[in-house]
Structure 1
Amino acid sequence: MSIAHNSFVISITCQSKPKNYQEAKNYPEWCTVIRVEIEALELDDTWVLVDLPPYKEAIGYKWVYKVNFNVDGSVEGFKARLVAKGYIQQEGLDYHETFSPVAKSVTMRTLLAVTTIKGWNLYQFDVNNAFLHGYTQSKADYNLFTKKSNNSFTTILVYVDDIIVADDCIDTINHLKASLHDKFRIKDLEKLKYFLGLR
């Protein structure tokens, strides 16, 4: 094992995450990302306050915490997500179907291979909250979106709130970045270096 790999493994195993909100509220870095998550959810009108129907109970929620790392093992940033405890719901009674945008690993590997062969630009974004709409969907993987224009071919791969963008024209990527930021408030992670455990 290389020294760089050892350093990376040590960094990710030594970094602790809060177990709950009571623990997280004692650390400024976690308070900041919690506030960013709440603001993003409110700006997107994610919920509407209503009275509960008779004989119904509200679903609880919890905070999920994540530490993002750079390829050298240093901390890139912190992320907090507010999630509903949907696991207490009963299929057919409380819901009929669920969906979470999770790209297939074979699609991700194929996109990385094609991008390398074609010499395309490859960038990564992080959406401040996980609500994404639009683009032409692939029939093979509903989380792969493509757009072809006269002078460029754009591919977007979505994995919950992480997005990979590949394009042969850097101007198109910059335009897309600005458009996505206006609608979803993205964080530009720049050129792809590390994604879902792959360097």
Structure 2
Amino acid sequence: MQEEIDAIEKNKTWQLVEKPNDKEAIGVKWVYKLKHNPDGSIQRAKARLVVKGYAQQPGIDYSETFAPVARLDTVRTIIALAAQKGWNLYQLDVKSAFLNGELKEEVYVQQPQGFVSKGQEEKVYRLKKALYGLKQAPRTWYSEIDSYFAQQGFQRSQSEPTLYVKHQGKDDILLVALYVDDLVYTGNNKKMVENFKIEMMKKYEMSDLGLLHHFLGIEVYQDEYGVFICQKRYAENILKKFGMYGCKPIEIPLVVNEKLKKEDGGRLIDGWKLVLSYSFKARFNVCC
């Protein structure tokens, strides 16, 4: 929790002010989560300060909210291309990504539980940048990272707004896919790839996750033989959720001892007559 508050204040996300009479302060709450490794082990404990966005009013606290994310097909295509070309795939995670988005609206939030300033309990925070939970937070972050990539010479794909391509010289290329605060990147020039990571870590608070291992529920394994993907942990979680983790595998999942009959006692229907009947009725209705 203290790390979250420190990140917010370091980023100059808010300012403690007197609450205007004509404005309402939105409540905030703490959300706790455990981040896991692909093998299920705990990576780290995480506390997030979240705004109660359901209290926001359209046209007053927010306007546009939509922000695109990378499609799964795009990520799979990048993985396939890297496997074909023999490139390495890397991953970066932006710490508190939404805190970087500049707010245009005038938004006030209450002081968080456990971190109320003594002697200033009646004051509220005016947000200069977005917090998690705000309806416009994803859009403000996307606008921020999109403008930064444009300044760095990246070209945004026309059909995939979260895919960015940067060319250097005739042959060198760098590909970056963005999914909220996760970046997957690859390219044929190691120096170009390394410089991208250095510049990103200078601009934003980043976690260098190294080679891509886990993304959107897909487990990725890279070695000299190629790139291999699977969803073992995802499948195990589904089985556990429905109480079938200890079930026996079977090639043809049919009901045990089910007896199939050629005639089950139902009335026989001529399929062609049924189709012609519906076709005639449709044309009759159109004509009439």
- 183, 186, 198: which one aligns with 2:203: 183
1:115 aligns with 2:82: yes
Cα distance between partner residues in 2 of 1:176 and 1:104: 22
- 137, 153, 162: which one aligns with 2:156: 137
Runs of 4+ aligned structure 1 residues displaced above 6 Å come to: none
Flag the structure with larger Rg: 2
Closer, same or farther: CA 120–43 of 1 in aligned 2, 3 Å: same
- 132, 135, 146: which one aligns with 2:165: 146
Closer, same or farther: CA 168–39 of 1 in aligned 2, 3 Å: farther
Query: What is the identity, as a one-letter code, of the residue corresponding to 1:160?
Result: V
Q: Secondary structure at the match of 1:76?
A: strand
**Structure 1 unaligned spans of 5+:** 1-33
1:59 aligns with 2:79: no
- Cα displacement (A) at 1:197: 0.6
Q: Secondary structure at the match of 2:5?
A: helix
1:173 aligns with 2:173: no
Cα distance between partner residues in 1 of 2:7 and 2:156: 25
Q: Secondary structure at the match of 1:71?
A: coil
Cα distance between partner residues in 1 of 2:23 and 2:91: 41
User: RMSD of aligned C-alpha atoms?
Assistant: 2.1
Closer, same or farther: CA 55–185 of 1 in aligned 2, 3 Å: same
Closer, same or farther: CA 61–140 of 1 in aligned 2, 3 Å: farther
Q: Secondary structure at the match of 2:9?
A: helix
Query: What is the identity, as a one-letter code, of the residue corresponding to 2:160?
Result: D
- 69, 72, 76: which one aligns with 1:105: 72
Cα distance between partner residues in 2 of 1:94 and 1:143: 26
Query: What is the identity, as a one-letter code, of the residue corresponding to 1:114?
Result: L
1:193 aligns with 2:213: yes
Deviations 1:36-93 (A, max 9, x none): 3333322222223344443321112223333332222222233333222222212223
Q: Secondary structure at the match of 2:6?
A: helix
Closer, same or farther: CA 164–99 of 1 in aligned 2, 3 Å: same
Q: Secondary structure at the match of 2:79?
A: helix
Query: What is the identity, as a one-letter code, of the residue corresponding to 2:186?
Result: A
Maintained 8 Å contact 1:121/1:170: no
Closer, same or farther: CA 37–99 of 1 in aligned 2, 3 Å: farther
Maintained 8 Å contact 1:157/1:165: yes
Equivalences for 1:10-29 in 2 at 5 Å?
A: none
Query: What is the identity, as a one-letter code, of the residue corresponding to 1:126?
Result: D
Maintained 8 Å contact 1:101/1:158: no
- 25, 41, 56: which one aligns with 1:74: 41
Task: Give the TM-score, by structure 1 length.
Answer: 0.73
Number of equivalences: 166
Query: What is the identity, as a one-letter code, of the residue corresponding to 1:139?
Result: Q
- 179, 189, 198: which one aligns with 1:159: 179
Identity across matched positions, percent: 43
Q: Secondary structure at the match of 1:139?
A: coil
Q: Secondary structure at the match of 1:87?
A: helix
Query: What is the identity, as a one-letter code, of the residue corresponding to 1:94?
Result: D
Task: Give the TM-score, by structure 2 length.
Answer: 0.52
Q: Secondary structure at the match of 1:94?
A: coil
**Structure 2 unaligned spans of 5+:** 101-143, 150-154, 220-288
